[in-house]
Copies of this chain bind each other. A is one copy, B any other.
Amino acid sequence: MANGKWKSDSQGAKGVPKAVVYRLSLYLRELQRLIRGGDTMASSGKLGKLLGLTDAQVRKDLAIFGQFGHPGVGYRCEDLVGAIKGILGTDREWTVAMIGAGNLGRALLGYRGFASQGFRVAAVFDADPAKIGQSLEGLVVEDVERLSEVVREREISLGLIAAPAEAAQEAATRLAAAGVVGILNFAPVTLHSLPVEVSQVSVDLATELEQLSFAVANRPETR
């Protein structure tokens, strides 16, 4: 029986495998797609097949957080979406700042997928005087010197770094100092000296291509 909240014997916070959290996002995405397609129930076997996972894996992942399924029938899609959003923390709106109004920053600003999952970009910053003052997707590009001020004014809680590698560390330091609680870093550098209370996730596009290159170079057997 779905109970909508954390597992009753909850121990508060950690202990959740990173891989599980990642798959939670996949379940959420797939369930939303099934709902758009008119489905109302989904079994662990069905979800697993759609994502290339075993049914047991799907059930174990969900069981970490509570009992969301109904023996004999499966999971109610709407309920499970609600539960997963609650777990991921996307059942509320997050206010985000974009640092960097270059190619990547502008592209990410235009990406509708963020807004649809509850992430609202409320400010864009850049250090280039030629870009400051420009209007992008309804936002005026602000001077990165004003970051701290604007972050507080607009109650921004997450920072998204789409700046060049050389500028990324300073952007991160500024964000942390301004009180942001999380940083998503697209720059190809490791960020240092951030306070422990600032969470961090990194995506390096070149690294992803390298993973692909390795997979291709080492695939099972081909000419």
A-side residues, CB < 8 A to B, are 13-14, 16, 21-22, 24-26, 28-30, 33, 50-52, 87-90, 94, 96, 103-104, 106-108, 110-111, 113-114, 116-117, 119, 157-158, 160, 181-184, 188-190, 196-197, 199-201, 203-222
Given contacts A113-B188, A182-B212, A188-B113, contact A29 B218 (CB under 8 A): no
Give the residues in chain B near A211, CB-CB below 8 Å.
21-22, 25, 201
CB-CB nearest in chain B for A23: B207
Complex contact B104–A111 (CB within 8 A)? yes
Complex contact B113–A214 (CB within 8 A)? no
**In the complex, which of the residues B89, B114, B216 contacts A89, with contact meaning CB atoms closer than 8 Å?**
B216
Complex contact A206–B114 (CB within 8 A)? yes
Give the residues in chain B near A33, CB-CB below 8 Å.
189
Give the residues in chain B near A158, CB-CB below 8 Å.
209, 212-213, 216
Please give the count of copies of this chain that the complex contains. 2
CB-CB nearest in chain B for A84: B210
CB of A218, distance to nearest CB on chain B (Å): 5
CB of A153, distance to nearest CB on chain B (Å): 20
Complex contact A14–B218 (CB within 8 A)? yes
Residue of A29, A90, A210, A218 ringed by the most chain B CB atoms within 10 A: A210
**In the complex, which of the residues B88, B110, B209 contacts A214, with contact meaning CB atoms closer than 8 Å?**
B88
> Cα distance A162–B183 when bound, in Å?
23
CB of A98, distance to nearest CB on chain B (Å): 12
Give the residues in chain B near A217, CB-CB below 8 Å.
88-89
> Cα distance A111–B102 when bound, in Å?
10
